[in-house]
Structure 1
Amino acid sequence: MLNSLEQNVQYRRSVMRVLLLLTMVGGVIFSILNIYRGLWSLAAVESVFGLFAFFLWHRIMQTMHLQRWVTIYLLPLFSAMVYAMYVPNSAGSIFVWILTIPVISYLLMGRKQGFWVSLFFIISGITVYHFRFIEGDIAINIANSLNIIISVCVITSLAHVYEVNREKNEERLLDLAGTDKLTGLGNRMKLAETFTLYAEYAKRHKSPLAVVLFDLDFFKKINDQHGHHVGDAGLRYIANFIQARVRKTDLLSRFGGEEFALLIAGSSEVNCFKQVDSIRQELADTHFTHDDITLTITVSAGMAMYGKDGDNLEALLLKADQRLYQAKDNGRNCVVDSNNQQAIEATLQTQ
């Protein structure tokens, strides 16, 4: 979902800003210490990263390519951590920075990329650590190795579990936010998100995309005569009825009140019209029953095509809405698209 992606970007921008701030401060402190210790190459690396962090600090909140900069920043940073252990006269305590790699990777790169990046640099770090610092008593070496490996596994596992649950919770909240409570269909937010994806595909592959608006005929009379509980049951019935007759790739959503919106991807205008009109006709031939009340519910529909009638959701909904009202003016229980719009307009003008 697009909102999910937007939230992830903002979340990662904030994490990245904190990391950049710590890198700037750490770069200054550790470069001074390592110059004093005579570790000139390590001091140079830390100084460069401090300056790079300062450069990114001003760009990270505006850039449209956040993940690209995250990757450009983290891969050398993690390499520098491993290199710091390899430098002669460096302290073994530097390994504690290797323990931060899985946490940083999962927070900024996500579950999949974060896992593989963590795995590569953790293995590299453990290898370099053993090459530089493991020597002498075998029993102590084994104990040190187990402590290092187990601690890394624990931190990586915790980071992985946290990210998996964060993704699931975010998806669950976004699904709830994009779902109409009464019918269980998507709402306007879901419609807008899905349209953006479908429109990009339609533009790239030059495939058709239809936007259809349904409106229940005389629905206000149902509420007035039988009560809103019957009206609500009727809305659920219509939602299930239409949903059962569209493809899995189509999106049916509740647009508001007694209106429903349908996205039909990859089907020509003629075939879309046939599909929608078939649903309309089948519904008109079917009876809705609730609490011993039997009703015939019909719908009017207006249809618009991406590209032909507009290139954004607002324009297509406006055109579909105009045709929907033409269907209402034409006696209801019918479908209007661009092909029969002119004929209906001519008929209405002669009446």
Structure 2
Amino acid sequence: MPNSLEQNYQYRRRVMRVLLLFVVVAGFIFSAVNFYRGLIPLAIMELTYALFSLFLWQIILVTERFQMWITLFLVPFFIILVYAMYVPNSSESIFVWILTVPVISYLLMGRRQGFWLSLFFIFCGVTVYHFRFISGDSAINIADSVNIIASACLMISLAHVHEINREKNEERLLELAGTDKLTGLANRMKLMDAFKLYAEYAQRHGSPLSVVLFDLDFFKNVNDKHGHHVGDVTLRNIARFIEDRIRKTDLLARFGGEEFALLIAGSSDENCFQRVDLIRQQLCDTHFDHEQTPLTMTVSAGISTFGTDGTSLDDLLMKADQRLYLAKDNGRNCVVDANNEQIINLALKKMQI
């Protein structure tokens, strides 16, 4: 879902802004300290990076090239950390910062890119640490190496598990947010997200795309006669009935009340009408039993076509809704599309005369 991607980016933007603020402050402090200690190249790198971070802090919430700036920030950032360990007279404690690489990588780059980025720079950091700081007694060297490698592997593992769980929880929450509680179908939010993908594909490949609006005929009578509980059961039955008769590439959503919206991709106008009308006929011939009470429902439907009737979901829904109410005026239990709209309009006008 596009919405999932956007929410993920918003989450990363906020994390990035906190990190940038920290780097700006720490960069100025460490550059001053290293200028004082005589580590001029390292101090210049830190000062330059602090200024670069300040620039990013100002644009990171609005930039459209977020992923590019993330890469341009993290790779030099980790290189500076490794270089700071390599510089003579640098403190052994600087290795602590290398252990933050997995956390930062996973938070900002995601699970896959974060894994490879953290693995590479952790390897570089551990290698430089051994080159600079491990010498002398072999037993102590082995203990130091095991501690360093184990702590680095633990940080990568924890970051990896955390990111997997975060992705699953985010997907679950977005799925719940896009699902109608009564019928289990997609809701309006998911319909809008799906339409963006369907429309983009239809426009790029010149393939047909139709929007269908179904409305249950005389549904109010079911609630009045049998109660709202039976009405809810009926809505769930109708939802399953229609869903069982559409393709996996189509999307059925509860639009509101007793209305359902259906996105049909890759079917010509004629084929789309035939499929929708077949659903209408089959539903008319089907009895739903509730507590030994047979219920028969019919639907009216309106169909609009991407391109001909508009290119936005609002325009297509409006046109489908107009044809739906034309079907209602025509006696209900029928389907209206662009091909029979004019015929039905003329017939209704003659009846009024």
State TM-score, norm by structure 1: 0.98
The equivalent of 2:227 in structure 1 is 227
Listed one character per residue, the Cα deviations across residues 279-329 of structure 1 (whole Å, up to 9, x for unaligned) are 111111111111111021111111111111111111110000001001111
Cα deviation, 1:140-173, whole Å, max 9, x if unaligned, reads 1111111111111111111111111111111111
Question: What's the offset of the Cα at 1:209?
Answer: 1.2
Match for residue 252 of structure 2? 252
Shift of 1:18: 0.8
In the alignment, residue 299 of structure 1 is paired with which amino acid?
A: V
Which residue in the other structure is 2:85 paired with? 85
Measure how far apart 1:88 and its partner are: 2.1
For 1:78 and 1:207, the matched residues in 2 are separated by 47
RMSD of the alignment, in Å?
A: 1.1
Q: SS where residue 103 of structure 1 aligns?
A: helix
Amino acid at match of 1:17: R
5 Å-filtered alignment, 1:173-188, equals 173-188=173-188
Is structure 2 residue 165 aligned with structure 1 residue 165? yes
Distance 1:8 1:185 in 2: 24
- Alpha-carbon separation, structure 1, partners of 2:128 and 2:336: 71
Pairing 1:184-203 to 2, within 5 Å after superposition: 184-203=184-203
In structure 2, C-alpha distance between the alignment counterparts of 1:70 and 1:314, rounded to whole Å: 36
Give the share of equivalent positions with the same residue, in percent.
Answer: 69
What is the rounded CA distance, in whole Å, between the counterparts of 1:249 and 1:315 in structure 2?
22
Which shifted more, 234-243 or 221-230? Answer: 221-230
Task: Provide the rounded CA distance (Å) in 1 between the counterparts of 2:72 and 2:340.
Answer: 56
**Which runs of 5 or more residues in structure 1 are unaligned?**
none
Alignment of 1:189-338 (within 5 A): 189-338=189-338
Q: How far did residue 244 of structure 1 move?
A: 0.4
Secondary structure of 2:309's counterpart equals coil
> Which amino acid is the alignment partner of residue 55 of structure 2?
F
- Does 1:115 pair with 2:105? no
CA distance in 1, matches of 2:72, 2:341: 55
Which residue in the other structure is 1:15 paired with? 15
Q: Does 1:129 align with 2:129?
A: yes
SS at match of 1:311: coil
Displacement of 1:6 in angstroms is 2.2
**Match of residue 340 from structure 1:** 340
Within 2, Cα distance between the matches of 1:141 and 1:272? 73
Task: Give 3-state SS (helix, strand or coil) of 2:263's partner.
Answer: strand
Counterparts of 1:269 and 1:286, CA distance in 2: 26
Residue in 2 that maps onto 1:45: 45
Tell me the secondary structure at the aligned position of residue 90 of structure 1. coil
Which 4+ runs in 1 deviate beyond 3 A? none
| Structure 1 residue 135 displacement after superposition | 1.8
Aligned length: 351
Deviation, 1:2, is 2.5
Tell me if 1:103 matches 2:103.
Answer: yes
Between the aligned partners of 1:228 and 1:16, the Cα distance in structure 2 is 50
Structure 2, unpaired ranges of 5+ = none
Query: What is the distance in 2 between the residues matched to 1:236 and 1:149?
Result: 56
Report the CA distance between 1:89 and its aligned residue: 2.1
Q: Which moved more, 1:21-30 or 1:120-129?
A: 120-129
What corresponds to 1:56 in structure 2?
56
For residues 116 and 305 of structure 1, what CA distance do their matches in structure 2 show?
Answer: 46
Per-residue CA distance 1:176-205 (angstroms, 9 max, x = gap): 111111111111111111111111111122
Distance 2:71 2:246 in 1: 42
- In the aligned structure 2, how far is the partner of 1:273 from the partner of 1:36? 79
What corresponds to 1:67 in structure 2?
67
TM-score for both structures, normalised by structure 2:
0.97
Once residues 190 and 91 of structure 1 are traced to their aligned partners in structure 2, the CA distance between those partners, rounded to angstroms, is 53
